[in-house]
Structure 1
Amino acid sequence: MTTPKTSTGQTPFCLVYGTEVILPTEIISPIARYGLATTETNFVERARDLDMIDEVRDMVKLRMASHQQAVARSYNKNVHIITLAIGDLVLRKVFQNTMDTTAGKLGDTWEGPYLVNDIVGRGAYKLSTLDRIQIPRS
């Protein structure tokens, strides 16, 4: 609650209530941050915080968009697009619902080889066995 998030630069409490959180221990043992505060200065600062909350939230939106772009750039830099052509041989990943239940942990994780018959969409292909038998829902 009191730690600013990396993506927003603000604490969740500040985004909801428009001011920084004051912990009970900070009230009991006076520190320089709150030791000189009076009721009048508190009202003035609270009014200023409430006036500025829309600007703070707008800045948070910009910072979140920038952070999301940086994360996407970092992720996409390691993604390598592989395009397959009709006639290529591929292996298909074995999922838990298609895995042989008696294989145990040393069971196969890939099955095939399969032949690419048709390009259905971006990264989607129709597969068949080497004997040209169509694989359903491939």
Structure 2
Amino acid sequence: MVYSGEAIVPVEVGVESDWIQHHNEDNVVRRLLEMDLADEARAKAAIRLMAYQQRMRQSYNRRVIPRLFQVGDLVWKNVKSVGDVTKLEAPWVGPFRVMEKLRSGAYYLEDEGGR
């Protein structure tokens, strides 16, 4: 409804979008097939990710030197990561005495004061 003026239709109304220009039933079928294959692509990506993680784990474990401690051994406790330590600062505290070894590979430690 226009009062004392001229009604003008915007140009955008007459211009068709790319989606409308290229729309046909083949595109709909193709899009549905792609959606069906998305689960398969996701599963393949998950398998590739697991294989990558396994290779990284094997590469890391090749360079790790396992250390086993006995009850009564004196050890140092690491309290800072390598990046958080300045040149003159030690990343560990201690010494601590190994009091008990747990099945999980962890240790109960005791300092010189008995704590």
The whole-number CA distance in structure 1 between the counterparts of 2:27 and 2:43 is 23
Aligned positions of 1:37-56 closer than 5 A = 38-40=22-24, 43-56=25-38
Q: 1:85 corresponds to which letter in structure 2?
A: Q
Normalised by the length of structure 1, the TM-score is: 0.48
Structure 1 unaligned segments of length 5 or more: list them: 1-26, 28-36, 96-103
Matching residue of 1:59 = 41
The whole-number CA distance in structure 2 between the counterparts of 1:52 and 1:66 is 20
Structure 2 unaligned segments of length 5 or more: list them: 1-17
Q: 2:75 corresponds to which letter in structure 1?
A: V
The whole-number CA distance in structure 2 between the counterparts of 1:87 and 1:63 is 48
Normalised by the length of structure 2, the TM-score is: 0.56
- Whichever of the two has the greater Rg, that structure is 2
The whole-number CA distance in structure 1 between the counterparts of 2:28 and 2:68 is 58
Matching residue of 2:109 = 127
The whole-number CA distance in structure 1 between the counterparts of 2:56 and 2:50 is 10
* 1:38, distance to aligned residue in structure 2 (A): 4.5
Matching residue of 1:16 = none
| % same residue | 20
Alignment length (residue pairs)? 89
Q: What secondary structure does 2:44 align onto?
A: helix
Runs of 4+ in 1 over 6 A off after TM superposition: none
Matching residue of 2:55 = 73
Matching residue of 1:14 = none
